[in-house]
């Protein structure tokens, strides 16, 4: 199997993009990635589109074929990949396998979602289409509801506190405010949350014990990467290639209730172990990580299951600043889903794009992890049902 | 790259299956395929689900994760693949790449669709979600409409006749009546179509010049295959392995109007060429083929573009019986989409399953091509926008 590298990345500002179609969003980031890879008029062999909701939200199918034509990349092969909010990383994984197989040399992976256009749907109901259609959703359980119950269990079992959750929100909104691609640009302060006379209004309970600031926004957006065999990367692209040193993917039960210990995110542990094993690296080798903080609790729980901290220690570490820039393991220097936003099909690709920016040392010093060489991403599907992880390495 | 083989197949009777959920349908054919492969309690490394419309029709996403849990295949990797009506073949292609890469050894691919459950949708409008959302569908163009216009051009350019189209319908419904998995079991006769006093009622114009009997039905159904490296096939499965000797995939313009010659199905030619080149075989080597006859015209046009007949000769060949059992190149001995049915996400997988039945010599003599060793499938996405082909070979 050949080593696969990323030679081009592209992203557009996430947020509300009423004026653009889903295809527009996908095309914009794709063009940036193709340009970043220095491909010029050269085509690609295959295109993967990551998307969760085009059928439901835009009443559109066959989006991958449409994108290939829109980008004048005919007759490239084209498929769309759906794996809920982990669609982005799944699409990159399939692009990686396509190149590793030896059948394809140049692959574009574009992830996108236009979620604010939820005609006849509430965003929460749209996202709940990934829950169990008989035993979860009909009883009113949604993703925020699951996250709330999960947080309560974590508090009871590990002594997690509201202050630890807030520490994640503060960090990620602070970083997001520095990220030109982020949806949420507002800096929040501890005082603003606790002492503000309007705190109850500013930061109301959303799914007890989670409040509004514990949740990611509903965003439109897209991100794209260009992949090629590492051995060809230096002949093609003008930028330092980033190697996908390892990937992992694992599934867990469809419903939370079937798990022996619902606070044990088995698929997160397993997908991460696979990625580290394939990369022949370990969690302590990672210089910078992007985790899937759709809810603040997830960043904390994932930071433990990935192996950055011991079980039950992630909240304390976040509160002590150990996940901030310049500290032990900087997490979500992009602002994460919490601030960059979470257009579901785009997220897994955006995480990889942000790590590529870090490993190419292209970010302003307020967000750049100095001399970052090893990066990690974790994209979370369902409520931990389907996890995809990558270990990324600067290729020199 | 490793050779990839099919060691297990499964299919359920297509038709109207109100009592089963989409997940039920996918699970039934998957269990048959896993059993056929002789896996027993052994798990698989990865699962691909081919589906076009779960989001629209069932308001369900993350179906691949749900299937893995349903089948007790945790923690296998799982992704859903969408490529319109060619989703099935796209999913098999991605399963093939996953194994060829060396990362996975045992892969289940299940394609399914529950199309008769079109709550708030007409089936034709659902299928039209693959057309161009600005310049096609809003003007009333649907897939049957495109097929009608395409047929008219073919008649004008190549002298195609109604009798040639009818010859395809007669053959495929005759074969479908012999196939226990087929949706349409009714045998039609030339007399019944032309001379019957109720012919206008029996076989009304649907999209001039195409009539009802030129069209496939709207079906529920599923089909599944188990893939593994050829070198391991004989150690695992009890059946003769079938090698995926070559695959091809190519895209064409999103809209028909942009094609220089709309009767030239460039992606069909290109995907087929790729498949034959990779297999180091040629069209005349093929013993039996499954083509994508969503409309009778497509079987004829594809039989030419694949290379079985010269351009403009496919209709005459069909009328002369050259695509029937025991003749030059038997096409759609399953009854094709026309009679087996067309649950869109299942179709590309079902085509491969039917060719595996042929290459394993498992069919009754009324449908079995004697000593068949080389098979071919063509799965047609959009209106020729995205084509996936396979050349299959009996492994001994």
Contacting A residues, span 262-291, partner chain B, CB-CB under 8 Å: 266-267, 270
Query: CB-CB: which of A54, A100, A254 is closest to B101?
Result: A100
Is residue A375's pLDDT more than 90? yes
pLDDT (mean) for B330-357? 98
Encode pLDDT of A279-302 as tens digits.
999 999 999 999 999 999 999 999
Contact A70 B252 (CB under 8 A): no
Backbone angles phi, psi at B391, to 5 degrees: -105, 125
Query: What's the pLDDT at B237?
Result: 81
Contact A56 B59 (CB under 8 A): yes
Contact A62 B381 (CB under 8 A): yes
Contact A62 B382 (CB under 8 A): yes
Q: Which residues pair with A107 in a beta bridge?
A: A46, A227
Contacting B residues, span 324-383, partner chain A, CB-CB under 8 Å: 381-382
Query: What's the pLDDT at A199?
Result: 62
Report yes or no: B143 at the A interface, CB cutoff 8 Å: no
In chain A, which residue's Cα lies nearest the Cα of B81? A81
Query: CB-CB: which of B55, B74, B79 is closest to A90?
Result: B79
Cβ neighbour number for residue A239 with a 10 Å cutoff: 17
Q: Roughly how many angstroms between the first and final C-alpha of chain B, as a whole number?
A: 20
Query: What's the pLDDT at A325?
Result: 98
pLDDT (mean) for B79-104? 98
- What DSSP line would sit under B132-152, residue for residue? -TTTTGGGT--HHHHHHHHHH
Query: What's the pLDDT at B98?
Result: 98
Report yes or no: B60 at the A interface, CB cutoff 8 Å: yes
Encode pLDDT of B235-290 as tens digits.
888 899 999 999 999 999 999 999 999 999 999 999 999 999 999 999 999 999 99
Chain A residues inside the 8 Å CB shell of B77: 93, 249-251
> Where are the extended beta strands (E) located within chain B?
4-11, 46-50, 77-82, 107-114, 205-207, 210-211, 220-229, 242-251, 288-290, 374-381, 386-394
Report yes or no: A94 at the B interface, CB cutoff 8 Å: yes
Query: What's the pLDDT at B187?
Result: 85
Query: What's the pLDDT at A84?
Result: 97
Q: In a mutagenesis test of the B interface, which of A1, A54, A61, A68 is the best target, namely the one with the most B β-carbons within 10 Å?
A: A61
**Cα separation of B141 and B119, whole Å?**
21
Is residue A239's pLDDT more than 70? yes
Contact A55 B56 (CB under 8 A): yes
Report yes or no: A66 at the B interface, CB cutoff 8 Å: yes
Query: What's the pLDDT at B251?
Result: 98
**Cα separation of B317 and B322, whole Å?**
5
User: Among the residues of chain A, which ranges form H helices?
Assistant: 22-36, 63-70, 87-100, 123-127, 143-158, 162-176, 190-194, 199-202, 230-236, 266-279, 296-305, 314-319, 336-340, 344-359
Give the residue, A119 or A179, on which the prediction is more confident. A179
Is residue A119's pLDDT more than 70? no
Encode pLDDT of B202-237 as tens digits.
788 999 999 999 999 999 999 999 999 999 998 888
Contact B386 A62 (CB under 8 A): yes
- The interaxial angle of helices B87-100 and B344-359, nearest 10 deg, is 60
Report yes or no: A78 at the B interface, CB cutoff 8 Å: yes
Report yes or no: A22 at the B interface, CB cutoff 8 Å: no
- The answer to whether the CB of A102 falls within 8 A of the CB of A2 is yes
Q: In the structure, what pLDDT confidence band is assigned to residue A234 with cuts at 50, 70 and 90?
A: confident
Encode pLDDT of B60-71 as tens digits.
999 999 999 999
Query: CB-CB: which of B64, B90, B253 is closest to A69?
Result: B253
Is residue B34's pLDDT more than 70? yes
Contact B130 A62 (CB under 8 A): yes
- To the nearest whole angstrom, how far is the Cα of A388 from the nearest Cα of chain B? 9
In chain B, which residue's Cα lies nearest the Cα of A382? B62
Q: In the structure, what pLDDT confidence band is assigned to residue A123 with cuts at 50, 70 and 90?
A: confident
How would you class A117 by CB atoms within 10 Å of its CB: exposed for 0-12, middle for 13-18, buried for 19 or more?
A: middle
Q: In the structure, what pLDDT confidence band is assigned to residue B200 with cuts at 50, 70 and 90?
A: low
Cβ neighbour number for residue B232 with a 10 Å cutoff: 16
Is residue B198's pLDDT more than 80? no
| Tokens found for residue A208 | 């007890």
Query: CB-CB: which of A65, A82, A250 is closest to B61?
Result: A82
Is residue B120's pLDDT more than 70? no
Report yes or no: B90 at the A interface, CB cutoff 8 Å: yes
Report yes or no: B6 at the A interface, CB cutoff 8 Å: no
Q: In the structure, what pLDDT confidence band is assigned to residue B190 with cuts at 50, 70 and 90?
A: confident
Encode pLDDT of B133-177 as tens digits.
889 988 989 999 999 999 999 999 999 999 999 999 999 999 999
Q: In a mutagenesis test of the A interface, which of B132, B251, B305 is the best target, namely the one with the most A β-carbons within 10 Å?
A: B251
Strands A46-50 and A107-114 come out as parallel
Contact B129 A60 (CB under 8 A): yes
Rg (CA), chain A: 19
pLDDT (mean) for A383-391? 98
Encode pLDDT of B278-327 as tens digits.
999 999 999 999 999 999 999 999 999 999 999 999 999 999 999 999 99
Contact B251 A62 (CB under 8 A): no
- To the nearest whole angstrom, how far is the Cα of A149 from the nearest Cα of chain B? 21
pLDDT (mean) for A160-170? 95
- To the nearest whole angstrom, how far is the Cα of A62 from the nearest Cα of chain B? 5
Report yes or no: A120 at the B interface, CB cutoff 8 Å: no
Backbone angles phi, psi at A150, to 5 degrees: -60, -40
Contact B266 A78 (CB under 8 A): no
Query: What's the pLDDT at A49?
Result: 98
The mean predicted confidence, pLDDT, of chain A is 95
**Cα separation of A299 and A129, whole Å?**
23
Q: In the structure, what pLDDT confidence band is assigned to residue B56 with cuts at 50, 70 and 90?
A: very high
Q: What angle do CA A154, A160, A162 make, to 5 degrees?
A: 115
Chain B residues inside the 8 Å CB shell of A250: 75, 77
Looking at chain A, the whole-number percentage of residues with pLDDT higher than 90 is: 88
Q: In the structure, what pLDDT confidence band is assigned to residue B92 with cuts at 50, 70 and 90?
A: very high
Encode pLDDT of A254-274 as tens digits.
999 999 999 999 999 999 999
Chain B residues inside the 8 Å CB shell of A84: 61-62, 65
Is residue B8's pLDDT more than 70? yes
Encode pLDDT of A186-227 as tens digits.
888 887 776 666 666 678 899 999 999 999 999 999 999 999
Q: In a mutagenesis test of the A interface, which of B25, B101, B244 is the best target, namely the one with the most A β-carbons within 10 Å?
A: B101
- To the nearest whole angstrom, how far is the Cα of B211 from the nearest Cα of chain A? 26
Contact B94 A97 (CB under 8 A): yes
**Cα separation of A232 and B48, whole Å?**
29
Report yes or no: A109 at the B interface, CB cutoff 8 Å: no
Q: In a mutagenesis test of the A interface, which of B49, B73, B82, B86 is the best target, namely the one with the most A β-carbons within 10 Å?
A: B82
| CB proximity list for B196: less than 8 A, separation 6 or greater | B202
Least confident among A116-120, A281-285, B82-86: A116-120
């Amino acid at each position: 199997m050949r080593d696969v590298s990323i030679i081009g990345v592209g992203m557009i500002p996430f947020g509300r993009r009423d004026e653009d179609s889903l295809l527009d969003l996908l095309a914009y980031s794709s063009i940036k990635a193709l340009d970043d890879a220095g491909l010029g008029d050269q085509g690609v062999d295959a295109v993967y589109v990551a998307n969760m909701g085009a059928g439901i939200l835009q009443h559109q199918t066959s989006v991958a074929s449409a994108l290939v034509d829109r980008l004048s990349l005919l007759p490239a092969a084209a498929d769309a990949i759906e794996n809920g909010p982990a669609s982005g990383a799944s699409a990159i994984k399939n692009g990686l396998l396509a190149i590793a197989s030896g059948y394809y040399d140049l692959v574009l992976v574009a992830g996108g979602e236009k979620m604010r256009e939820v005609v006849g749907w509430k965003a929460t109901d749209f996202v709940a289409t990934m829950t169990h259609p008989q035993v979860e959703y009909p009883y009113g359980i949604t993703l925020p509801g699951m996250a709330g119950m999960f947080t309560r269990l974590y508090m009871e079992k590990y002594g997690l506190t509201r202050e630890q959750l807030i520490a994640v929100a503060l960090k990620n909104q602070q970083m997001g405010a520095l990220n030109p691609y982020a949806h949420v640009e507002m800096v929040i302060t501890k005082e603003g949350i606790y002492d503000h006379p309007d705190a109850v209004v500013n930061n109301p309970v959303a799914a007890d014990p989670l409040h509004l600031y514990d949740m990611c926004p509903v965003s439109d957006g897209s991100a794209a990467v260009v992949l090629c065999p590492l051995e060809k990367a230096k002949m093609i692209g003008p930028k330092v290639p980033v190697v996908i040193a390892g990937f992992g993917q694992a599934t867990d039960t469809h419903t939370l209730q079937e798990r022996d210990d619902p606070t044990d995110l088995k698929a997160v542990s397993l997908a991460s172990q696979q990625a580290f094993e394939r990369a022949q690296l370990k969690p302590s080798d990672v210089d910078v990580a992007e985790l899937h903080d759709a809810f603040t609790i997830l960043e904390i729980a994932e930071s433990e299951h990935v192996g950055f901290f011991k079980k039950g220690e992630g909240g304390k570490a976040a509160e002590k600043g150990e996940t901030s820039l310049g500290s032990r393991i900087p997490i979500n220097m992009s602002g994460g889903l919490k601030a960059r936003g979470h257009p579901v099909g785009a997220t897994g690709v955006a995480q990889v794009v942000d790590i590529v920016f870090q490993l190419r040392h292209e970010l302003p010093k307020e967000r750049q992890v100095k001399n970052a060489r090893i990066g990690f991403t974790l994209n979370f599907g369902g409520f931990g049902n389907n996890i995809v992880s990558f270990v990324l390495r600067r290729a020199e």
